[in-house]
Chains A and B, each alone.
Chain A
Amino acid sequence: MAKVKKSPWVLHYDGASCNGCDIEVLACLTPVYDAERFGIVNTGDPMQADILLLTGGINAQCQEVVKQIYEQMPRPKVVVAVGTCACTGGVFKEAYNILGGADTTVPVDIYVPGCAARPQSIIDGIVKAVALFQQRSDEHDKGIVNGSREGES
């Protein structure tokens, strides 16, 4: 893991998930798995968040919400899709109200597979996200504007 200069703040949002991945994300923050030992802090406020953990697929109604949350986050930012649903739409892929995975709506950097994703792999995803976030903020400091991707607000 890269050396972290700043503690990234993590925001969790549940798209159209079955809840299984959400409780695993929450379990990651409790003492048994304690993801906070990697220097992250869990927050509820998009405007202060650096890493977005998205669970579940995207449906017509939550699409706007997810977009809004993503846009409210300051740059640089990293998006992690947790669970098969968030990666591809998963078991609900063929359901009429699911547009697909998280990447139909926001650019996803890290995919964590599993139904439900296990805490170990979620932690793995978070650790990768922290490293990526550090890299992006270094680039950002050096004035490389494209720390995150082109064409986003």
Chain B
Amino acid sequence: MGKQSIIPFGPQHPVLPEPIHLDLVMEDEKILEAVPSIGFVHRGLESLVEKKDYQEMVYVIERTCGICSFMHGMGYCESIEHIMNVEVPARGRFLRTIWCEMSRIHSHLLWLGLLADAFGFESLFYQCWRMREKILDMFEMTTGGRVIFSVNKVGGVLKDMDEGQIRQILDTIEWIEKELTKIKKTFLNDYTVETRLRGVGVLTKEQAHDLGAVGPFARASGVVLDMRKRGYAAYPELDFEPVTSEDGDSWARCEVRINEIFQAIDLIRQAAAKIPAGDLAVEVKGNPEGEFFMRVEQPRGEAVYFSKGNGTKFLDRMRVRTPTFANIPGMLQTLKGADYADVPILILTIDPCISCTER
């Protein structure tokens, strides 16, 4: 047996845009165990329900994370809407769906770029982020913000899209579809890239299930789990099947995310074809009383929003369970027995979002 040593990884590390700390117990070049410590970005966001009323909370919850900001706001609003029995008008629900799927495209492109950066393929990283900028332009055009939009409110959405804007979104996603088809080949078939991804960090279906993995991380191991199928926003009216893969390695996770971008493009097209005219939101009167668990499929997996109202304008409790939190046990499992050089890729393949996890 070789000598054991502990290598600290993070919180400030070149491959991590966000702080997380891991103690890697190593034997020679192999990792025996990874011990995480989190809390570097904990803000205590949930406790703000004591100071902000339930309508203002939308803007706080949105800032749980800047990448899936729209979906955080939406998940929270839907939970309150369920408590208060508010029916969001159809147009509002379709607009939410379009923004959700655009967020998914932008998040997955961002991840693909970071992955390319982790295995040292700079130009691929730039290509992904160049495509992502187009989606951000569309966000800016429709909502006014690039990463934080604040277009959700309890009862619906605040901004509308006109014909021209929808047209432009469709043109943009068509361009992205074309570009992504080209880039897909490099990610999935390039020999060098494949050697860095194939067979690295395998998580079997049983492990994924037992460790409670969610989202693309679980779907890449063959677990069919997609909260959109439970039906919220306009998803019940759209036609789609969860994207899965079998191998459970880093390559499969990459494949699932690329295919999900194509799926998101398809969903936006369906939604744009079906979007009805009408109101954006209904007026909400009174205060929430009761509790509800809302489950939303974010780019990283299932997020849970629990709200408990007591009949006043301040909620009793608000809780967010984010996908990265559920995926950390799975990530630690894939790190066991891995090479030190693969650590950045393994951490990245769960698409960690630390600021969600710690709130």
Determine the chain B residues whose CB is within 8 A of the CB of A15 once the complex forms.
41
Is B40's CB under 8 angstroms from A27's CB? no
A96 to B45, CA, bound (A): 8
- Does A19 sit within 8 A of B, measured CB to CB? yes
Q: Is A118 an interface residue (CB 8 A)?
A: yes
List B contacts of A17 (CB < 8 A).
41, 66, 355
State A93–B110 Cα separation when bound (angstroms).
29
Which among A14, A45, A69 has the highest number of chain B CB atoms within 10 Å?
Answer: A14
Q: Within 8 Å CB of B230, what residues of A?
A: none
The interface stretch among B8-16, B24-32, B76-84 is B8-16
Is B18 engaged at the interface, CB distance under 8 Å to the other chain?
A: yes
When distances are taken between beta carbons in the complex, the residues of chain A under 8 Å from B13 are 44
Given contacts A18-B66, A22-B18, A46-B12, contact A96 B133 (CB under 8 A): no
Contacts of A94 in B (CB 8 A): 48, 51
A92 engages B45 (CB within 8 Å): yes
CA distance A19 to B13 in the complex (A): 16
A106 within 8 A of B: no
Please give, as numbers and ranges, the residues of chain A lying within 8 Å of B148 by CB-CB distance: 18, 20, 115-116
Q: Nearest Cβ in chain A — how far from B120, in angstroms?
A: 14
- Which residues of A sit under 8 angstroms from B2, Cβ to Cβ? none
Q: Chain A residues with Cβ under 8 A from B200's Cβ?
A: none
Binds A, one of B56-64, B185-193, B266-274, B304-312: B56-64
Q: Contact: A97 with B17, CB < 8 Å?
A: no
Q: How large is the interface on B (under 10, 10 to 19, 20 to 34, 35 or more residues)?
A: 35 or more
Q: B183 on the interface (CB 8 Å rule)? A: no
Residues A19 and B12 in contact, CB atoms below 8 Å apart: no
Contacts of B136 in A (CB 8 A): 27
Closest CB in chain B relative to A11 CB, distance in Å = 8
CB distance from B151 to the nearest CB of A (A): 15
Cβ–Cβ contact B66 & A31, under 8 A = no
Contact A62/B45 with A19-B65, A27-B133 known, Cβ cut-off 8 Å: no
Q: Indicate which residue in B11, B42, B129, B355 contacts A19 across the interface (CB closer than 8 Å).
A: B355
A21 at the interface (CB under 8 A from B): yes
**Most chain B CB atoms below 10 A, which of A19, A22, A61:** A19
Q: Which of B43, B145, B147 contacts A97 (CB 8 A)?
A: B43
Tell me if A4 counts as interface (CB < 8 A to partner B): no
Residue of A with least CB distance to B123:
A31
Asked if A23 and B66 sit within 8 Å, CB to CB, the answer is yes
CB<8 Å pairs between A and B, sample of 24: A14-B19, A14-B41, A15-B41, A18-B66, A18-B355, A20-B65, A21-B66, A23-B67, A23-B147, A26-B17, A27-B136, A30-B133, A31-B126, A32-B129, A32-B133, A46-B12, A56-B41, A62-B41, A91-B63, A92-B44, A95-B47, A97-B42, A98-B44, A116-B66
Can you list the 4 inter-chain pairs with the closest CB atoms, starting with the nearest? A20-B66, A44-B14, A97-B44, A19-B66
